[in-house]
Structure 1
Amino acid sequence: LQQFAAFQADHPDLRVEVVLKKPYGPGGLLDYLRTAKPVAPSLLPDLMVLDAAELPTAAREGLVQPLDGLIPSQLLTDLFPFAARLGEVDGVWVGVPYQAELQHLVYDTTKLERPPMSWRDVYSSTTPFLFATGTPRGGLNDVLVNQYLALGGRLVDEEGRPVIDREPLVEALTFFNRGRKLGVIPYRVLNLSNAASVWTRFLAGEAGMAQLPATFFLMERDQLAHVGFAPVPTRNRQIAPLGRGWVLAVVTSDPERQKLAALLLEWLMEPENNGAWSRAAGRLPARRASLEMWDQDDAYVPFIRQHLERAVAAPPPEVEQVLAPPLQTALRNVLRGVSTPEEAAEEAIATVEGRR
C-alpha cells in the first residue's frame, strides 16, 4: 500500500483504489474476474495481480488484455527467461511477472560444516533431509521435478503436449529410494504436506537440511543466525529449479483506462520500486534490474541470480494437471517402499500417455 501512496504522490491527478481478494477458489481473484465480467463489468479492476498459473485460463477466457503496445518491450527483455515465459500465453504477452518463486536448499550450519552439493554428499550425511511431499493445489512437486529437470527430463514435447522421459525419471526416483534406504530421507517426509510444515520442523532442529521455497528463508533471514543457503543437491550439480510467480495483468478493455493501468504497472515495475518492495517483502524479483537494487555485497544475490537465470518455467495448467498426479504417486510409492524406481516410472509414463 505504501507503493500505491507513493505513485499517487507522483501522479496527484490520479487516485488508486486497492481491493483485496483471496488468491484462490470461490471469491478469489480468477473467480472474481469470471463472475463480475458478465453481470457487473464496471466493478472489475483496471489492473490485477494473478498467480501466473492462472494467467493462461484468464487470457483464453478473454479476462485480461494483451500488453503489446501498452508496455515497453524492454521491460519484457529484462525479465529472467523463465519469468518472460510465464507472462506469455499462446505467443501473446498478457502478464508482467513482478514476483518470482523457486526452491533451494537451506541448512543448519551447526549441524553441517558445508552443504551437500551432490547425491553422494546427501547419502553420506549424518543429518536428515526434509522436503514437502504434498503439492500446493495439486500442482507439480518441485522436489521431484527439480531432480528430473537437472537430469535433462522434459515436461512437454515438441508439440507442447505433456511428456515424461523414462531414464531421467528413473534416476531421480533412484535418488529418493536410496536416500530412504540409508535413512537420510526419513519416512516422516510422507507426512509433510506443505512447505510450511517442513520449515517448522527444520527450525525446530529436526533436520540439518531442507528444500524450501526461497520466500521462507528470505522472510525470516535476519533472525536466522545459523541457517545457510545452497543449491538443491543433484547428481551432476546442475541447477534447474522450477520457476513460478505472480503477474500484473491489465483487465480493462477501455483504451484510456488501459493507458492509466499501464502507467501504474510500469511504475510498480521500475527497478527502484520493484527492487525495494521485493527486498522488504522477502520476495524474489522477476526482473534483472530489480535484483540489481539489492545489496550486491550480499552473497545471496549472486547465488539467487544464478538460480533465476537457470530456472525452468512451470508448465501451463493443462500440462501440470496431467503430469502432477502420476509423478506425485510415483514419488510417494518409492518413499513408502512399495514400488521400485523403475516400476513407479513405468506407471507414471503409462498414465500420462493414456491422458494425452
Structure 2
Amino acid sequence: MKLGIETMGKYKKNKPYLTIFSILIFCSFLSGCSILIDSINLLKETDASTMLAENITETTISVTPISLKDTQTSESLQQTPSPENASIPDIQNLVIWVPPQFDPSQNTKESKILTDLIGKFTEEHPGVNITFRVKAITGDGSALSALSAAKNAAPDVIPSLVILNRNDLLSAVQKGLVYPITTNIFSEANSWYSYAKQSSAAENYIYGIPIAGDTLVMVYRASKTGAAMTTWEDILSRGLPIAFVPASSDGLFPTFIYLAKGGKLIDDKGQPWLDQSILVDTLKLFLTGGQNGAFPPSLAQVVDQSQNWQMFLEGSVSIIISNFSTFQHNKGPDIKAMAIPLFTDNQRYPLMNTWNIAVTTSNAEIQNLGIQFAEKMADPIFNDIWTANAGFFPVRQSEHVEWQKDESYDTILKILPDAALLPESQILNKISPILNMAVSKVIKSQTTPEQAAQEAISELE
C-alpha cells in the first residue's frame, strides 16, 4: 500500500509534463484522423464517378469527359488534397433521345462518323458527357409519347435533346414539350435546301435544327425493267407490277400522285380538301396502270410494306415505291432508285419528311450546349458525309463531295431543289386513308374514277 502511495505521489509531481504529453498525442491522433477521413471521402468521390460512368455506359453510348480521366492516383489518396487538386469540375450531362436509325452504338459507318463527332465535341467541351437513348418512332415507346408521359409524372427523365420527324416536332410544339431556340445557323439562307429550312419553324419560331430528309422514290431492278424510265407512259407500258400499300391507312403513294398532279389538301380556311377534277385524273392513272398490269388487284390487299420488300427482294415484283432511306439500306448491284416521275403541270416533289433536333430541357446552359451540338450535325461538310453514309437526304447545299461517290447522287440532285415539305399529320391522317380507299376500289374494278372521286369527297365532308 505504501508503494501505491509513493507512486501516486510521483504521478502528482510529474502531472504537468504528462498532461502536455497527452495533449500532443491527442492532437496527433486528430490530425491522423483528418487525413484518413479526407482519404475516405476522396475514395467515395472516385467510386461515385466510377458508378456514374458505369450507369451511363449501360444505356447506349457515352463519352467520358477528358478532364476526369486519370486524375485520381494513389499518391493523391495519401495526403490531404489541396483546394486546387480537390476541385473536380461538375459533369454536364447532355442526354439525347434518338430513333433507332440514328443510334451511334450500331456497328455501321454512319454510327462511327457520329461517334467521332461526339468525341470531338467533348474534347472541345471538357466536363460534358453525352448519352444517347434509343426510342421507338411510333407507339407508346416513342420519343413523343415518352415526353408527354414524363412532362408531369417524371420530369427528371426528360432529356436535353430529342430527334423527331417533322410532324412529331409539330405535335411536340403544340403540347409544349420542346423549347424555341436561338441560333445563327440559318443566317446563310442559300446554304439550306428550302424544305429543310422550312421544317425548322413552327408558330413563327425556330424549334428544330434539321439534320436529314427522306421521301418516296421508285426502286427497280434494272435487269427486269430494261431501258431508263423517265415518264409514267414509259413505266406503265412495261406492264410490270408496281408494289405499294393502298390497303394501309398510312400509305402515301396515292397522296404523292395527287399532289404531283397539282392537287391541294387544304382549302382557303385550312381545312382538309380535295380537288375533284385532279382526283379523277389521279384515279385514271391508277386505272390505266391496273389495266396494263402495273397495279394488279392482288397488290391492293397488301397492308405491310415489309411484305412488298420481301416480294421485291425475292424477285416477285420488279418495281416498288419506297422511302429513299429504306432503299439505301437494301440496294445492290441490280437494285436502283429513281425520282418518281412528275407531271408537266407541277414540278414540286411532294412529301419530303425531315428529322430535326429539338431542345427539351429548360436548363439554359444545357440548352446552349445542345444547340451547339445540333449545329455541328447540320454543318454542311459533316452533314454531307453523315447523310451519304446513313442513307438520308442532306439538308445543306454544298459540293456534296461524299454524296458524289454514291450512285444515287443524280437521284437526290433531281429531288432536292424542288422538294416540298409533307403536310401536317392532321391533314395526312384525314385525307390519305380516303385516297387509298379510292385507289383500291379503282384498281380492283369496283367503281369508276369519277364515282370513286365523288365518294371520297363526300366522305371528307
TM-score in terms of structure 2 length: 0.70
Alpha-carbon distance, 1:284 to partner:
2.1
Q: 2:273 aligns with which of 153, 163, 181?
A: 163
- The one of the two structures with greater contact order (alpha-carbon pairs below 8 A, sep at least 6) is 1
Instruction: Name 2:259's counterpart in structure 1.
Output: 149
1:80 aligns with 2:193: yes
AA at the equivalent of 2:198: R
Closer/same/farther in 2, CA of residues 74 and 306 from structure 1, 3 Å limit: farther
Instruction: Please give the alpha-carbon distance, in whole angstroms, between the structure 1 residues aligned to 2:307 and 2:401.
Output: 32
Instruction: Please give the alpha-carbon distance, in whole angstroms, between the structure 1 residues aligned to 2:247 and 2:184.
Output: 38
Q: Deviations over 1:65-100 (max 9, x none)?
A: 112x23532366533222333332222221122121
Stretch moving more, 193-202 or 340-349:
193-202
AA at the equivalent of 2:272: P
Q: 2:174 aligns with which of 56, 60, 64?
A: 60
Whether contact under 8 Å (1:243, 1:314) holds in the other structure is yes
Closer/same/farther in 2, CA of residues 53 and 293 from structure 1, 3 Å limit: farther
Instruction: Name 2:333's counterpart in structure 1.
Output: 225
1:7 aligns with 2:116: no
Whether contact under 8 Å (1:70, 1:259) holds in the other structure is no
Alpha-carbon distance, 1:30 to partner:
0.8
Whether contact under 8 Å (1:122, 1:233) holds in the other structure is no
Instruction: Name 1:17's counterpart in structure 2.
Output: 131
Instruction: Please give the alpha-carbon distance, in whole angstroms, between the structure 1 residues aligned to 2:188 and 2:173.
Output: 20
Correspondence list, 1:56-205, <5 A: 56-67=170-181, 69-74=182-187, 78-135=191-248, 138-139=249-250, 141-205=251-315
Instruction: Please give the alpha-carbon distance, in whole angstroms, between the structure 2 residues aligned to 1:55 and 1:65.
Output: 11
Alpha-carbon distance, 1:305 to partner:
2.4
Where 1:8 maps in the other structure, the secondary structure is: helix
Closer/same/farther in 2, CA of residues 131 and 325 from structure 1, 3 Å limit: closer
Whether contact under 8 Å (2:201, 2:208) holds in the other structure is yes
Whether contact under 8 Å (2:441, 2:447) holds in the other structure is yes
Instruction: Please give the alpha-carbon distance, in whole angstroms, between the structure 2 residues aligned to 1:304 and 1:46.
Output: 32
Q: 2:378 aligns with which of 246, 269, 272?
A: 269
Instruction: Please give the alpha-carbon distance, in whole angstroms, between the structure 1 residues aligned to 2:141 and 2:318.
Output: 40
Q: 2:433 aligns with which of 307, 325, 335?
A: 325
Closer/same/farther in 2, CA of residues 71 and 22 from structure 1, 3 Å limit: farther
Whether contact under 8 Å (1:115, 1:230) holds in the other structure is no
Where 1:97 maps in the other structure, the secondary structure is: strand
Closer/same/farther in 2, CA of residues 268 and 153 from structure 1, 3 Å limit: same
Identity, in percent, stands at 27
Instruction: Please give the alpha-carbon distance, in whole angstroms, between the structure 2 residues aligned to 1:61 and 1:260.
Output: 24
Stretch moving more, 76-85 or 122-131:
76-85
AA at the equivalent of 2:137: P
Where 2:225 maps in the other structure, the secondary structure is: coil
Instruction: Name 1:31's counterpart in structure 2.
Output: 145
Alpha-carbon distance, 1:266 to partner:
0.9
AA at the equivalent of 1:183: G
Alpha-carbon distance, 1:7 to partner:
2.4
Whether contact under 8 Å (2:219, 2:336) holds in the other structure is yes
Whether contact under 8 Å (2:239, 2:293) holds in the other structure is no
Closer/same/farther in 2, CA of residues 298 and 54 from structure 1, 3 Å limit: closer
AA at the equivalent of 2:428: E
Whether contact under 8 Å (2:186, 2:197) holds in the other structure is no
Instruction: Please give the alpha-carbon distance, in whole angstroms, between the structure 1 residues aligned to 2:183 and 2:190.
Output: 15
Alpha-carbon distance, 1:172 to partner:
1.0
Instruction: Please give the alpha-carbon distance, in whole angstroms, between the structure 1 residues aligned to 2:255 and 2:351.
Output: 7
AA at the equivalent of 1:83: A
Unaligned runs of 5+ in 2: 1-103, 105-114
1:253 aligns with 2:367: no
Question: Number of residue pairs matched?
Answer: 346
AA at the equivalent of 2:144: L
Q: Deviations over 1:298-352 (max 9, x none)?
A: 4522321221222221111221222122112111111221121111111112222
Whether contact under 8 Å (2:159, 2:361) holds in the other structure is yes
1:215 aligns with 2:325: yes
Closer/same/farther in 2, CA of residues 28 and 228 from structure 1, 3 Å limit: closer
Instruction: Name 1:306's counterpart in structure 2.
Output: 414
Alpha-carbon distance, 1:102 to partner:
0.7
AA at the equivalent of 2:418: R
Alpha-carbon distance, 1:117 to partner:
2.3
Instruction: Please give the alpha-carbon distance, in whole angstroms, between the structure 2 residues aligned to 1:295 and 1:100.
Output: 14
Alpha-carbon distance, 1:297 to partner:
5.6
Q: 2:449 aligns with which of 317, 336, 341?
A: 341
Q: Deviations over 1:239-278 (max 9, x none)?
A: 6231112211011122222111111111222223222222
Unaligned runs of 5+ in 1: none
Instruction: Please give the alpha-carbon distance, in whole angstroms, between the structure 2 residues aligned to 1:46 and 1:156.
Output: 35
Q: 2:350 aligns with which of 238, 241, 245?
A: 241
Alpha-carbon distance, 1:119 to partner:
2.6
Where 2:132 maps in the other structure, the secondary structure is: coil
Q: Which structure has the bigger radius of gyration?
A: 2
TM-score in terms of structure 1 length: 0.89
Stretch moving more, 187-196 or 328-337:
187-196
